[in-house]
Amino acid sequence: MFSVRLVMTPLFLQLVYNRPGFPADFYGFTTQERLRYAPRALEYLLNAEDISYLGNMRFADGQSMYNARELHHMQDVKWVTQVAFIVVLVLAILITVMIVALIRKKQTRPLLRRALLHGSLLTLAAIFAIVIVAIFNWNVFFNAFHQFFFESGTWRFQYSDTLIRLFPEQFWFEAVLAIGCLTFVAAGLVYLLAGRRKSEYDI
């Protein structure tokens, strides 16, 4: 989730939208317009505002930037995002408490090291599998992800809709790769650090 949070930043948007070869908006958004509108969508997912935060956005001609289906989907995405971050925060606190408890006693430190080694290996394997599926069968991965988190039929839009113009599938493909790479590196570092010191209790 820390990797996800890093992707939900203006910096990632800058990197993706300015990458040579990133698909242009067929309906006319320039890169500068994407960089002006897209951060607002990310901000909505993280702040405490209601859907009017996006619903009040207008094009220059006064037309609403998002239609009713897009706004409904963004409400769903916000709920999933904020619940996920709350769960992760609670788990992070619990894990920190457990790590402190295990590290305070010499006899339990090997258990902690073993847990970190096994946990990092499991994470590496899971992320590798997810990235491979995303690369070689993106449609299956993309559809399965949305069907798991969202009600059927609520997450498909027209190419002319603002959400697709700002966040085409190529954006999500690159976001998944970025999240996978960041998580892979983090898990690899945990594995290396946990494996630096061996103990007779280690497996």
pTM for this prediction? 0.87
What local confidence, expressed as pLDDT, does residue 196 receive? 74
Give the per-residue pLDDT at 197. Answer: 59
String of DSSP letters for the chain: -HHHHHHSSHHHHHHHHTSTTPPPPTT---HHHHHHHHHHHHHHHHSS--THHHHT-B-TTS-BSS-HHHHHHHHHHHHHHHHHHHHHHHHHHHHHHHHHHHHHSGGGHHHHHHHHHHHHHHHHHHHHHHHHHHHH-HHHHHHHHHHHHS-TTSS---TTSHHHHHS-HHHHHHHHHHHHHHHHHHHHHHHHHHTSS--TT--
Boundaries of every domain in the chain: 2-194
Per-residue pLDDT at 6:
93
pLDDT of residue 198: 55
- pLDDT tens for the chain, 203 residues: list them: 899 999 999 999 999 999 999 999 999 999 999 999 999 999 999 999 999 999 999 998 899 999 999 999 999 999 999 999 999 999 999 999 999 999 888 888 899 999 999 999 999 999 999 999 999 999 999 999 999 999 888 899 999 999 999 999 999 999 999 999 999 999 999 999 888 755 444 44
